[in-house]
């Protein structure tokens, strides 16, 4: 049981690390494309890791309610499909409407 708590806390810490890396990348990168490069992957992985840790917690602390675990697994699956698709859609629209990528030597846009 203590091992289960340790695994859950490790998953939560890893997910929080990735969420914070995504937020700092959204703040610090110089360009729209580089900002989405940072957040589109880090947020997906961070959300997946945190919900995976909660699944481990649920599986050992609330036995007998397997439907909620399936619900959270479906939530992970949907986030892993939908979040990169949304990122790609907004980035494709920005490229089509003429937002130029950042080059070395330019200022922050």
Partner 1 sequence: MEEVEDERIGKNPPWSSDHLRRMAKMISMFLATGLLITIAITLSLYRVVVGPGVFNRTAAVNVIGTKTIVLLVVMGYYFERPYFFDIALLYALINFVGTLVFAKYLEKGELWS
User: Per rule CB under 8 A, is residue 14 in the interface with partner 1?
Assistant: no
Handedness of CA 53, 51, 16, 22 (dihedral sign): positive
User: Per rule CB under 8 A, is residue 71 in the interface with partner 1?
Assistant: yes
User: Per rule CB under 8 A, is residue 24 in the interface with partner 1?
Assistant: yes
Name the residue among 31, 40, 33, 27 with its Cα closest to residue 95: 33
Q: How far is the CB of 14 from partner 1 (least distance, A)?
A: 12
Please identify, using beta-carbon distances, which residue of 93 and 106 lies nearer to partner 1.
93
Helix %, strand %, coil % of the chain (to 5): 80, 0, 20
Answer for which of 5, 10, 101, 106 binds partner 1 (CB under 8 A) is: 5
23 by Cβ neighbours in 10 Å (0-12 / 13-18 / 19+) ranks as: middle
Cβ neighbours of residue 72 under 8 Å, at least 6 residues apart? 51, 54, 55, 58
For partner 1, the binding residues (CB under 8 A) are: 1-2, 5, 8-9, 12, 15-16, 19-20, 22-24, 26-27, 32, 35-36, 39, 43-44, 46-47, 50-51, 54, 57-58, 61, 65, 68, 71-72, 74-75, 78-79, 82-83, 85-87, 89-90, 92-94, 96-97, 99, 109
């Amino acid at each position: 049981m203590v091992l289960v708590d340790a695994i859950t806390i490790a998953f939560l810490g890893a997910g929080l690390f990735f969420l914070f890396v995504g937020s700092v990348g959204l703040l610090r990168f110089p360009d729209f494309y580089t900002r989405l490069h940072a957040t589109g992957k880090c947020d997906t992985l961070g959300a997946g890791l945190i919900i995976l840790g909660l699944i481990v917690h649920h599986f050992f602390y609330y036995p007998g309610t397997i439907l909620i675990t399936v619900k959270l697994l479906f939530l992970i699956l949907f986030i892993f499909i939908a979040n990169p698709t949304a990122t790609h859609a907004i980035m494709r629209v920005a490229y089509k409407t003429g937002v130029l990528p950042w080059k070395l030597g330019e200022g922050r846009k």
